[in-house]
Every structure is written in structure tokens, then in C-alpha cells.
Chains A and B, each alone.
Chain A
């Protein structure tokens, strides 16, 4: 076997190893971070949900929470660009900026979401959902815990389709009916 061929094989093997490592790492970070989302579209209307959309909504909503939790923990506004748009993105950015100014950050232990689709626009350009979230929240001031509480909280959510994913446009915590 010529030296050139041996070197080429070596380079190709090395490149394949790097690619495999990158793929494994990306897969691991996505799997570890996204919270569990239980999706129910039984009462949706007036438009019926498409099969693909019923898969995209819980996936993208879970990823939105993952990025939001990371943004609020690390005070990184840029993370909010992926899965938020409109008022939701603006409000969360403003929260992160003011947290950062005050030396605060918020940590979430996400115990899962029960997401119910309640309205799907006739043209398929907006979906309203109700999320019953279970999260443990900690607020820290320069590393010291100043508040922690396990929460069962209800959110009213508005999502709209983007180029390749659904984006959270509005997310509003509402007093649950039990409260």
C-alpha cells in the first residue's frame, strides 16, 4: 500500500471519528435537556391537527422551555432566538437583561408539561395551547439561593409556525382554576 493511500485512509478515519463524536454530543445535549411534554390535541378546533404538526408542537415547545431555562440560568439572551418570537421573545429578553443587571439568575428543575391544544386557526397559522407545567424554581442572587419553590403552574401559550419549526409567540402564566 502506498504511503499516500495510507495517509488518506488515516485522515478519513480521523474525520469520521470527529464527525461521530460531534453527532453523539449534539444528540446527548438535546436528549438531556428537553423536558418531557405530554401532548393532547383531542379538543382542538376548528382545524384538525396534521400528523406532522402533532409531532412538531410538543417537540418545539419542549425545546423552547429548554432554551428558556438555559437562558434564565445563564443570563444569555441569544438563546431565546431559536424558539421564541414576538412578545414572548421580547419579554423574556427583558427578563434576562434585568436579571443580569441585578446579579440574579433563575434555575429550573423541569418535571414535565401537560400540553393541551385548544385552538388551531382555520388557515393553520396559529395555535393556542394550555400548559400545565410542573417545575421546581430557584432564584439565586450571586450564587446564594433567595427563593425556591416547587410549582404547578398553568400557562396560556400561543405558537405560530416559523420557517422550519413552531415558535412560542405568547406565554402567559394564569391562575389555575383551582386557585
Chain B
């Protein structure tokens, strides 16, 4: 009889002192409020540990703990912990990214020579309003908006939050806008298309007192775009005095230099890896 009473007493005690428990939804969306239910009784401490926060508050075990949406902005794994007089118990849940509504756009390079196949790399990252990467596939529209030409666009679906495209630069120099769009959000970057390497580099020489004035014709690339001022053109003269090279920046579309010549001489021109015509001149009058 005594044993039975003892067993019943222990069972009754166990029933009244049931350990606290905590339950959260397995998954929720970023920025959405949730309620975490707890069981047990008495004063307790509630902790919420997330990717960008770790909070602590006094609660009553057995009550629901409301969690505001702004405490769940960051996607990732959260741990909710309840510590009461009988110890601590925990549960974890995932916050998944919200609706795709923002884009991060990487366009490289910012200056590209004209006519370069696949010369522009464009990568779009898909984010929600809280800057969480949205991993579910999303349709992205990439657009190229040249200054004086029709818009060209291409659609891609993001994979793991990323979509990309390679774009060839146009044959005409000038700024072009490259954009990406998702829903109501869009991002635009400007790429400057500049002349490519010089093409058909040609020089002429005229006598100027004791020297020769050597100058290029307007320096252009193969598509007819003017090579920008400041690009270096190298003039090399070979005569009886030896070989001399002079580097001259292009000014107003042409490069020119005055060279003293002794006897017969050969003058050549180059810009980068491009060579131009050769001239044979003589200092004899």
C-alpha cells in the first residue's frame, strides 16, 4: 500500500512539474511576424538567436511569445530558447527570403573597346526587400540601351539567386546603358565603349627648317572611331646617328613630332601592337 501511495505521489509530482516546452513554425518568410508557443508555468527567460540578432526577454512559461516581423528580417536559421526553473529547452526554425524585389548588378568593365565579342560581363543578384538572396528561380530581363539605337533585351532565369549574361560591345563608340529588371525593380549601369586599337596607321613627313615634321593622319580604329587623345604613338627614326624612338600622345586626333635627320633615314610609326607605314627621308638638300 505504501509503495502504491509513493508511486502515485511521484506520478502526480511529475505531472505538475512537466518540463517547459517551446514550439515554433518550422519555416517562415522574412519580415513575417510569428508566434512561438511555450508550455510550463512560472517566470522564464526567452532568447531568440538569429543571423543578425540575439535577444533576451522575460516571459511567462506557458504563454505564446509574439515575434515581430522586424526581428525576422534576415533569412537563415533561428534558435528560440526558453529557460525556466526546470532548465532550458530550444527549437529552431528557418526564415526564408521574401518576394524578389531588388537586384544587385555587377557590370564589368566600365570601359570597353568597341567590337569586342562577349566583352561585357553582367551579373545580377536577386534579393528581397531585406537584402536576402532569393534562391528560388526568378525571371530576369537584361537590356542594352544604346544611345542612338534600339533597345535589345534578353531574358534569363536566376539560379541560386544569380543570373548572368555576356554582351558584345557595339562598333560605334559612346556610352551604353546596361540594365536588369525584376518585377518593379531595375538597376542600370553605364559602360563607356571606346575606340579599339588603331587601324591603318599612316604618317607623312614634311621638312621643317633643319628637321622633319612627322605627323599621323587622324588616328582611328578599324570601325572609324577616333582613338582618344592621350593615346601614345611611337615614332622611330633610324639614320646614320643611330635609332631614336619618341613617344607622343595623340592631340586633337593626330600625333606629331619634329625629328632631326642626318643623311638618309627611315621613320616608322606604331601604337601599341599596331604598326603603320614606313617613310624614307633624306636630310640632303
* Interface residue ranges, A against B (CB under 8 Å): 46, 87, 90-92, 94-95, 98-99, 102-104, 106, 118-119, 121-123, 125-126, 128, 130, 139, 141, 146-147, 149, 153, 156, 158, 170, 172-175
Contact = CB atoms under 8 A, between A and B. Distances in A.
Contacts of A106: 49, 54
Contact of B47 (A139, A172, A174): A139
A80 to B, nearest CB: 12
B185 to A, nearest CB: 17
Given A121-B123, A170-B133, A173-B76, A98 B47 contact: no
Interface SS majority for chain B:
strand
B56 to A, nearest CB: 4
Interface string B41-61: 000010101111111100000
Contacts of B81: 139, 146-147
A158 B75 CA distance: 14
Interface of B: 27, 45, 47, 49-56, 74-77, 79, 81, 83, 88, 90, 92, 94, 96-97, 106, 108-109, 118, 121, 123, 125, 131-133, 135, 159-162, 164, 166
B94 A174 contact: yes
A122 B121 contact: yes
B129 to A, nearest CB: 13
B178 to A, nearest CB: 13
Contact of A125 (B50, B51, B108, B132): B108
Given A146-B47, A172-B133, A126 B52 contact: no
A146 B90 CA distance: 9
Contacts of A156: 133, 135, 160-161
Contacts of A130: 160
Contacts of A95: 50-54
Given A139-B81, A147-B90, A158 B51 contact: no
Contacts of B162: 119, 128
Nearest to A47: B121
Nearest to A46: B164
Contact of A141 (B27, B47, B161, B164): B47
Contact of A102 (B54, B96, B159): B54
B200 to A, nearest CB: 31
A99 B54 CA distance: 5
B135 A174 contact: yes
Contact of B79 (A94, A118, A147, A174): A147
B27 A175 contact: yes
A94 B53 contact: yes
B51 A91 contact: yes
A153 B77 contact: yes
Given A92-B52, A125-B106, 14 more contacts: A91-B51, A95-B51, A98-B54, A102-B47, A106-B54, A126-B125, A128-B160, A130-B160, A147-B88, A149-B92, A156-B161, A170-B133, A173-B75, A175-B96
A121 B160 CA distance: 13
B45 to A, nearest CB: 8
Given A102-B55, A123-B109, A139-B79, A175 B121 contact: no
Contacts of A46: 164, 166
A139 B118 CA distance: 50
B133 A126 contact: no
A106 B54 CA distance: 10
B112 to A, nearest CB: 11
A122 B118 CA distance: 10
A59 B76 CA distance: 24
B203 to A, nearest CB: 37
A146 B88 contact: yes
A102 B50 contact: no
